Chain A
Amino acid sequence: MTSNQKRKEDLHVSNGGLKQSAWSKAISCKAVWEEKDEFLDVIYWFRQIIAIILGLIWGVVPLKGFLGLAIFCVINAGVLYVYFSSFQQVDEEEYGGTWELTKEGFMTSFALFLVVWIIFYTALHYE
């Protein structure tokens, strides 16, 4: 690999995109995150992925009502908490505390979850 290619691969795209090295760090245990924003973007995108998966499952089963909403919130917050506190073992204070990490991307993921849940529920149980 040329040095230019390697540099491009290592670059973190500003303001939200993620490059290859960020994803490799995301799945490695206790990775070192030089840039706080990079780790926060990883948290953000993991939340969106969880929202799509849970929306799909909830729509297919189907899981309905407030219980579906509550379980989503618990799983979304819980899985990411385990990820950043046990798997990555980051210093939460560096990121403004557990709450800042918990709310990173939460509302967008909640809206995405609702959309996916509604789509699959409508398609499979009302068509």
Chain B
Amino acid sequence: MTTMFADTILIVFISVCTALLAEGITWVLVYRTDKYKRLKAEVEKQSKKLEKKKETITESAGRQQKKKIERQEEKLKNNNRDLSMVRMKSMFAIGFCFTALMGMFNSIFDGRVVAKLPFLPLSYIQGLSHRNLLGEDYTDCSFIFLYILCTMSIRQNIQKMLGLAPSRAATKQAGGFLGPPPQAAKFS
């Protein structure tokens, strides 16, 4: 039983380390480059400007005004696309690293109950929360479920604390272009 709690804490620690590793890789490959800094500043400036313009526009606004906004939106979309392309490098590197790491952790924690859930997960979640565990007690928690929960909470908070999270305006304007920003990526 002591081993189970030690596993719980170890997985939280692994999650913190992998979040820092992911941000570290992204910093080396992306954040510190001039191109990224320039693009990010441009996107944030344009997003805020566009948001303010959209708030003040009225139904009776002239065709010229609306066309101006469309042009700005197009420009912003292009910059967002370029920004996503710059981030792509780190996404591949992180994906590659984490595939190897996850393979290793999955084999280490295979079949091990790493925590007890204080609730019974919904049936479609049990496939994840009870993955590779023996028995029918679905309050037994598998490595992958706890790791995913830790990553969802820890990585975003680390990004926000370090000031690396993209701005809300930029995220909103990016919309569905390459899906959500890196913090929601598979191994993050």
Contact = CB atoms under 8 A, between A and B. Distances in A.
B159 interface: yes
Contact of A16 (B2, B44, B159): B159
Interface stretch (B18-26, B62-70, B76-84, B111-119): B111-119
B interface SS class: helix
A122 B165 contact: no
Given A66-B119, A115-B12, A123-B5, A108 B157 contact: yes
B56 to A, nearest CB: 13
Contact of A115 (B150, B163, B169): B150
B167 A14 contact: yes
Interface residues of B, number: 34
B152 A117 contact: no
A44 B160 contact: yes
Given A37-B168, A118-B8, A127-B1, A108 B152 contact: yes
Given A108-B152, A111-B153, A119 B115 contact: yes
Contacts of A65: 118-120
B165 A117 contact: no
A interface SS class: helix
Contacts of A109: 153
B83 to A, nearest CB: 14
B100 interface: no
Interface of A: 13-17, 37, 40-41, 44, 48, 51, 58-59, 62-66, 68-69, 107-109, 111-112, 114-115, 117-119, 121-123, 125-127
Interface of B: 1-2, 4-5, 8-9, 12, 44, 115-120, 141, 146, 149-150, 152-154, 156-157, 159-169
Given A48-B157, A118-B8, 7 more contacts: A15-B166, A41-B160, A58-B118, A63-B118, A65-B118, A108-B157, A121-B118
